Structure 1
Amino acid sequence: MVPESDMHRHFTGLLKSGEGTDVTFEVSGETINAHRCVLAARSAVFRAELFGHMKEGTTTSAIHIDDMEAKVFRLLLSFIYSDLMPDIIDEEGDNANDEEVILQHLLVAADRYDIQRLRLMCEEKLCGYINATTVATLLVLAEHHHCRGLKEACLDFLDIPANLQVFAGGGLNYLGSSCPSVLIDLISKLESLKHDKTITDDG
């Protein structure tokens, strides 16, 4: 019997042990070590930063990342080493509400470092969090980070008149100020539905 691949366990163990690490990140005040070759193999952005002509590729000091939470960066590294969706809820006391927010930040990180498989996995999970309260935020997130599936799921949610009525209370103003292009898409979709309904009624 040939055992299933456990390569991800070996790489994850290497990350956890810290053995052989050769690059250090300072993320929101926390020091995180990793392996340049692994990061470069998994992300074209990391490859350019660590082996290109950018400053990060020549520096021996810590690389500072100030616009991301340390937990999100650790989750990003966990995926890079394992190719598996990391556990968002852990022993730190996170709850379901935290999971949605962390998934949003992890999606942004995945898009930033061009890790498309992780971005799609986050996108799929976030579709399960769509409701009248979150749909506006998720629409803007989807538009800014090229998440076609998440955007379509949000628009489908708003196809339901009851959902749209609740959303219209404040969501339209938020979309208008944060991402007018999404508001235009929403209006176009609603107009198309109205047109289709008119044709059906006339028929």
Structure 2
Amino acid sequence: MFLVEDSEIPAHGLVVATRSPALHEEVEWATGMDHVKIDAMRATVFKAILHFIYTDELPHVDDLVPVVGGDSTMIAGEMLAAASRFRLERMKRLCENLLAENITPKNALATLRIVGRHGCTELEGHCVEYMSL
């Protein structure tokens, strides 16, 4: 059981450990405890991580906007950060693609800030190129 914000989120430890080495480390660290506490992340974003772990697909970001507020760029950025944190490289690439497909003059700078923190050099270059047009 994971505890994220105030939400208890069930998951199969073996499945999670198999798909994410970083989450496996957190599960191992919490051995003997009732919950694995995940800090600095919204419960909705952690549920998106689990959705990916179980299905190998991103959840529909537009479905998450009403739940957490903000916009799809912000949520895709949070999912990218979470994927980076938990070393889910395929999810990270999918988030990068999602951000690249939805870049606009309005969100290009925000996207650049997001990807710059997570080593997304290709998307970072795309943002810079987009902003220089």
C-alpha RMSD over aligned residues: 2.2
Give 1:47's aligned residue. Answer: 24
Match of 1:108 among 81, 91, 95: 81
Give 1:146's aligned residue. Answer: 119
What is the correspondence of 1:1-203 to structure 2 with a 5 Å cutoff?
A: 24-51=1-28, 54=29, 56=30, 58-90=31-63, 93=66, 98-160=71-133
TM, length-normalised to structure 2: 0.88
In our comparison, the structure showing a higher alpha carbon Rg is 1
Tell me how far apart the structure 1 counterparts of residues 119 and 39 of structure 2 sit (CA, whole Å): 23
TM, length-normalised to structure 1: 0.60
Unaligned runs of 5+ in 1: 1-23, 161-203
Unaligned runs of 5+ in 2: none
Post-superposition shift, 1:89?
2.6
Distance 1:110 1:154, change over 3 A: same
* Contact 2:100–2:126 (CA under 8 A) maintained in structure 1: yes
Deviation by residue 1:25-80 (Cα, 9 ceiling, x = unmatched): 111111101111101110111222223xx3x2x23311222311111111110000
Which structure has more relative contact order (CA 8 Å, sep 6+)? It is 2
4+ aligned runs moved over 4 Å, structure 1: none
Aligned residues: 133
